[in-house]
Structure 1
């Protein structure tokens, strides 16, 4: 008798950044890394782990956000002055957040970006408006060239979050960006020509709402912009 395929479960492979975080946790737990100890440089860690500096930087950024590490310009990155139990608990939470749950990822993105669009419409400067305009053009160019537009799309959304002038919202988005890229590539979101052309139009509408500083319209458009992604995510789980 052939057993049904749904008896098996999807294998979740840990990302390099999560494996780096796990190693740092083990170093702290074993006492090899103590409060105030300085980590090797990104280049040295990259060579030791055998991964690109992007993964090292992502791991450090996550650990900094949760207060496990502290980076001082020109001096380097150090283990924060927190209790071992606190640090271990924080790292465990980071690794749980890092495990890919597409629906939770999209839901979190919706919360961050709708509020960012509203704030950006109120607080945007001429400099941030120019950055958003350039991101709109870059995305459209990538679509017209038939290139992979995912990173250009995220650059547009990141520009809006930066324009909100809220550092916490910006940090939260930066933490989930690597998982957003991985998930969108895996699920091939917005890959048809029609979907991509609709996205171009929606980006331009968002830009205009922010340009005329209409927070309600900007928030509504962002919510609508991500609505189809939410519907897709619900259907996956």
Structure 2
């Protein structure tokens, strides 16, 4: 439910508050982004005009114009000449692309991304052990069975592996956590596609997924998290070796 029941243009401007003198465009964009992705503004809402935003923030109109242009590139707002600027989507829809762009325009450190993925996947496994229902458990079992059946077909094996992780994330029931994982996986995909490149690796990965599944089925968060930690350690080692090669 939007937090602005009255005139959204005036209320949005009032919610922004003033910035210090000399604030760079990047900080103007960040202030706008924080408000637009906070969930308080309904998708499709017309935003205040540049002059009103500039007056409220205490910056020049050119800074606001550049900030809005950057947010349009990110897909956060839609600038319609002669009509105004509109918020494109809900906060949950905007978060993944915001994260993705933020990581893409920054310095990408593969080792750090892998460490982040490890932590997120381990937490997902712990949550899934507490929250997975019968339907999710059935999907996880099916995915592991597919992994067994596709040991010699590595493309199909990779698909079953990914489906297992997607089902775990769904079981965790935390959309923000899932969004972060989706971004990290996307950025690592160039390595992940080639991570399991022989049957020995596939067999080991299958056994590791079975251990995670056992912990989730037992409702044992510690066991599921520990099994995922083992899997992430070997998966990370393979990915780094692939990158070095």
Give your verdict on TM over 0.5.
Answer: yes
Is the contact made by 2:76 and 2:87 (CA closer than 8 Å) also made in structure 1?
A: no
| Residue of structure 1 equivalent to 2:201 | 195
Gap change, CA 1:139 and 1:35, over 3 Å in 2: farther
Deviations 1:57-78 (A, max 9, x none): xxx999711686xxxxxxxxxx
The residue number in structure 1 matching 2:231 is 225
Provide, for residues 188-214 of structure 1, a one-character-per-residue CA deviation record: whole Å limited to 9, x for no partner.
322121111111111112111110111
Q: Which residue of 2 aligns with 1:86?
A: none
Report matched runs for 1:1-237 at 5 Å.
24-25=72-73, 35-36=85-86, 64-65=94-95, 93-96=102-105, 101-185=109-193, 188-232=194-238
Q: How many residues end up aligned between the 2 structures? A: 173
Change over 3 Å in CA distance of 1:95–1:146 after alignment to 2:
closer
Shift of 1:104: 2.2
1:125-146 deviation digits (Å, cap 9, x = unpaired): 1111112112212222232445
Give ranges in structure 1 of 5+ residues lacking alignment.
1-21, 40-59, 69-89
Secondary structure (helix, strand or coil) at the match of 2:219 reads coil
1-side partners of 2:187 and 2:101: how far apart?
Answer: 17
The 8 Å contact of residues 205 and 221 in structure 1, kept in 2 or not, is answered as yes
Corresponding residue number in structure 2 for 1:57: none
Is the contact between residue 74 and residue 97 of structure 2 (CA under 8 Å) also seen in structure 1?
A: no
SS at match of 2:151: helix
Q: What SS class does the counterpart of residue 150 from structure 2 fall into?
A: helix
TM-score (norm 2): 0.58
Cα offset, 1:173, TM superposition:
1.5
- d(CA) in 2 for partners of 1:183 and 1:37? 35
Which structure has the greater CA radius of gyration? 2
Which consecutive residues of structure 2, in runs of 5 or more, have no partner in the other structure? 1-69
Contact 1:118 1:219 in 2 (8 A): yes
- Once residues 218 and 161 of structure 1 are traced to their aligned partners in structure 2, the CA distance between those partners, rounded to angstroms, is 13
| Larger RCO, structures 1/2 (Cα 8 Å, 6+ apart) | 1
Question: Cα gap change, 1:61/1:138 in structure 2, threshold over 3 Å: closer, same or farther?
Answer: farther
**Following the alignment from structure 1 to structure 2, what is the Cα–Cα distance between the partners of residues 178 and 122?**
27
Q: Give the direction of change, closer, same or farther, for the CA distance of 1:170–1:233 in structure 2 (3 Å limit).
A: same
The 8 Å contact of residues 136 and 171 in structure 2, kept in 1 or not, is answered as yes
